[in-house]
């Protein structure tokens, strides 16, 4: 790859689960990294961010909201790239900003690597024009990064061979979740952690707790960590079933609070309607919890293995309650699932994510070596 490679990563905003990866890439021998952010924070984010102790710059914010999605349009990414003069550009999306960066890479003959958190399943709803744009970009890219097997399947659906696909997992600090004590002396049967919005399913989680209580013949305890539009609705429903469910509402949880909250519970409920991955499952697994998840999260069948460290179930509260009750009634089974969660999550580390990213860049650069003829997609 040469003595020193200059790597530019174009991304929307600083996400807490990618910052530690960028930190590790920036410290690798032979790499000069600059991360270019479209914005300091999107309007709906409440993340606690670790220090950005790697070379980075923020573009002048230009955000448009379209159907609830934030679209970044930062033409000044071009002069930023000219100033940095990278050897390879990694783009993690298809906002106008990333397309400007791709166009710059194409015109200058710079190696280009797309990075996606999406999956074959999550992108099935894309329009024809979105698919045309992706096909155009992919045909002119040297290597491909995804956060999951679902992302690899997405690339393969565009005819990209497996040897050009690399993984940079979505991760959390596993050790922090394993060794942090509970934040409260209270113990809970369940935890729901995430935004309190309809698509995340907090009311469904409450109904699962109620049905589990009926199966166990005792009151069940659940803690909700998160905030959002469904908060009052879930609280009102919980008050109507207080004889069966003791529901506690922690509200928005800071990053440092999360390990202890997970460790205060026995089972993590993840009834999402749509998540391209679901980093909350990493958090639960790192705390040693079994996970019950809908099939609409990227972790389903990957980090969460049905019958091994959790269950992948359609959104049927009775079925979830049956699975949950079995885990809560059988300590040996719960221990087996807990150990498997801890084992599976080890692969999802910042070190592996950083290595995958750099491996993809090395491959893309090797494809552009003099005399190398790339095969078209």
Mean pLDDT computed over every residue of the chain: 92
Number of domains in the chain: 2
pLDDT in tens, 238-250: 999 999 999 999 9
> What is the model's pLDDT at position 120?
86
Residues 339 and 243 in one domain: yes
Query: Whole-model pTM above 0.85?
Result: yes
**Residue 159 region by backbone torsions, left for phi larger than 0, else alpha for psi between -120 and 50, else beta:** left
**Residue 265 forms beta bridges with which residues?**
188
> What is the model's pLDDT at position 184?
56
Range of the domain at 161: 5-171+349-367
Residues 157 and 225 in one domain: no
Residues 308 and 358 in one domain: no
**Residue 167 forms beta bridges with which residues?**
146
- Classify residue 23: in a domain, yes or no: yes
> What is the model's pLDDT at position 180?
64
* pLDDT beyond 60 at 377: no
**What is the Cα–Cα distance from 31 to 126, expressed in whole angstroms?**
35
> What is the model's pLDDT at position 42?
64
**What is the Cα–Cα distance from 312 to 191, expressed in whole angstroms?**
17
Residues 76 and 161 in one domain: yes
> What is the model's pLDDT at position 123?
86
- Which pLDDT band holds residue 374 (cuts at 50, 70, 90)? very low
Q: 15 and 38 in contact (C-beta within 8 Å)?
A: no
Q: How many CB atoms lie within 10 A of CB 372?
A: 10
Residues 64 and 149 in one domain: yes
- Of the candidates 267, 281, 262, 280, the one whose C-alpha atom is nearest the C-alpha of residue 216 is 267
DSSP state of 43: T
**What is the Cα–Cα distance from 189 to 201, expressed in whole angstroms?**
17
Q: What is the 3-state secondary structure (H, E, C) of 144-194?
A: EEECCHHHHHHHHHCCCCHHHEEECCCCCCHHHHHHCCCCCCCCEEEEEEC
- Which pLDDT band holds residue 2 (cuts at 50, 70, 90)? very low
- Classify residue 188: in a domain, yes or no: yes
**Burial grade of 184 (CB within 10 A; 0-12, 13-18, 19 or more):** middle
Q: How many CB atoms lie within 10 A of CB 155?
A: 24
How far CA 365 is from CA of 2, 84, 89, 304, 373, in Å, comes to 10, 17, 10, 34, 12
Residues 327 and 223 in one domain: yes
- Of the candidates 279, 276, 333, 280, the one whose C-alpha atom is nearest the C-alpha of residue 310 is 333
- Classify residue 375: in a domain, yes or no: no
Which tokens sit at 186?
């209270």
Residues 288 and 189 in one domain: yes
CATH of the domain at 159: 3.40.50.2000
* pLDDT beyond 80 at 373: no
Which tokens sit at 59?
């573009």
Q: 5 and 88 in contact (C-beta within 8 Å)?
A: yes
E strand intervals along the chain: 5-11, 31-37, 56-58, 63-66, 69-72, 88-91, 111-116, 144-146, 165-167, 188-193, 220-225, 245-251, 265-270, 291-293, 310-312
Which tokens sit at 106?
């194409």
- Of the candidates 76, 81, 135, the one whose C-alpha atom is nearest the C-alpha of residue 107 is 81
Residues 181 and 296 in one domain: yes
pLDDT in tens, 328-348: 999 999 999 999 999 999 999
pLDDT in tens, 42-81: 665 666 677 899 999 999 988 888 777 778 899 999 999 9
* pLDDT beyond 90 at 181: no
- Classify residue 377: in a domain, yes or no: no
* pLDDT beyond 90 at 266: yes
Q: 213 and 195 in contact (C-beta within 8 Å)?
A: no
């Amino acid at each position: 790859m040469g003595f020193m490679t200059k790597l530019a990563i174009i991304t929307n905003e600083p996400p807490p689960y990618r910052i530690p990866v960028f930190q590790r890439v920036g410290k690798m021998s032979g790499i000069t990294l600059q991360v270019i952010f479209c914005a300091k924070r999107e309007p709906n984010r409440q993340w606690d961010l670790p220090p950005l102790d790697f070379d980075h710059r923020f573009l002048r914010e230009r955000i448009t909201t379209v159907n609830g999605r934030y679209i970044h349009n930062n033409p000044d990414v071009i002069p930023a790239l000219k100033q940095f003069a990278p050897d390879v550009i990694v783009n993690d999306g298809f906002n106008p900003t990333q397309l400007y960066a791709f166009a710059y890479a194409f015109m200058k003959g710079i190696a280009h690597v797309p990075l996606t958190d999406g999956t074959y399943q999550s992108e099935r709803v894309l329009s024809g024009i979105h698919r045309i744009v992706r096909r155009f970009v992919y045909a002119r890219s040297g290597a491909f990064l995804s956060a999951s097997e679902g992302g690899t399947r997405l690339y393969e659906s565009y005819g990209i061979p497996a040897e050009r696909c690399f993984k940079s997992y979505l991760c959390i600090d596993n050790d922090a979740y394993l060794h942090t004590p509970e934040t409260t002396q209270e113990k809970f049967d369940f935890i729901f952690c995430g935004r309190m919005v309809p698509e995340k399913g907090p009311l469904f989680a409450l109904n699962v707790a109620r049905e589990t209580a009926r199966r166990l013949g005792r009151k069940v305890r659940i803690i909700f960590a998160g905030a959002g539009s469904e908060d009052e609705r879930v609280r009102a429903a919980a008050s109507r079933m207080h004889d069966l469910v003791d529901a506690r509402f922690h509200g928005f949880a800071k990053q440092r609070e999360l390990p202890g909250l997970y460790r205060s519970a026995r089972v993590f409920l993840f009834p999402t309607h749509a998540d391209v991955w679901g980093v909350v499952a990493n958090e639960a697994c790192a705390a040693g919890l079994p996970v019950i998840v809908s099939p609409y999260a990227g972790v389903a069948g990957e980090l969460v293995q049905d019958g091994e460290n959790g269950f992948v179930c359609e959104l049927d509260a009775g079925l979830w309650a049956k699975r949950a009750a079995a885990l809560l009634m059988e300590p040996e089974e719960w221990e087996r699932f807990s150990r498997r969660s801890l084992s599976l999550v080890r692969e999802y580390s910042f070190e592996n994510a950083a290595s995958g990213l750099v491996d993809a860049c090395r491959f893309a650069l090797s494809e552009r070596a003099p005399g190398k003829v790339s095969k078209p997609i």
